[in-house]
Structure 1
């Protein structure tokens, strides 16, 4: 799994217990999944269709740095299914794993559109072709 994003847990990210608010973390995961999908499908018109069950395994507190990792599980006709892991860099513990995040590629009218992708591509490889 590649970890693309790091977030620093700040006071505004905390719940009343002084730990990272789950809703904040889910927003970070959704944003990272969207960014990852935009890059993979080379289209900024995408939406989150589904996010599987979540289970918090450990916590993060103010000052911790969390890393968000994504990997492609499969490419559908107009979708991409991702797996996400978030880990605490300070404690080395996994905070949460999301087994399935389904993102859908859209056309200019907001309808699902085939993307034609079958494998993970890296931007550096796309630049070689130009």
Structure 2
């Protein structure tokens, strides 16, 4: 799993119990999944189609640092399926796991757009490939 994003838990991220508000965490996860999928599918019109069961296993409190991990698990015709894990860097506990997040690339009319991808590509490789042309 690749952990690209870290978040510092601030007072505005807390619920009335004084721990990380689940809705805020889901917002961050959805944004991270979207950014990952947009880069992989090379389509800025990529949207969330499905998020599987969410299992909150631990929490975080003000001042903690969490990290969000995303891993691709499958390419569909117009979609990419991702797995997600969020960890608390301070306690080393897993906060949440999500087995499937399905992101779909759309065309200018809002319809699913086939992407032709079958494996993960890294931007550095795309840049190197374009320089060789």
Cross-structure match for 1:85: 85
Cross-structure match for 1:122: 122
TM-score, normalising length: structure 1 = 0.99
TM-score, normalising length: structure 2 = 0.97
**1:55 Cα deviation (Å)?**
1.1
Kindly report the root-mean-square deviation, in angstroms, between the aligned alpha carbons of the 2 structures.
0.5
Residue 24 of structure 2 aligns to a residue in which SS? helix
Moved over 3 A (4+): none
CA shift digits 1:69-108 (9 cap, x unpaired): 0000100001110000000000011000000000001001
- How many equivalent residue pairs? 130
Show structure 1 runs of 5+ residues with no match.
none
Distance, in Å, in 1 between the alignment partners of 2:55 and 2:129 is 42
1:29 aligns with 2:40: no
Distance, in Å, in 2 between the alignment partners of 1:80 and 1:55 is 21
Show structure 2 runs of 5+ residues with no match.
none
CA shift digits 1:25-48 (9 cap, x unpaired): 000000000000011011100110
Residue 48 of structure 1 aligns to a residue in which SS? strand
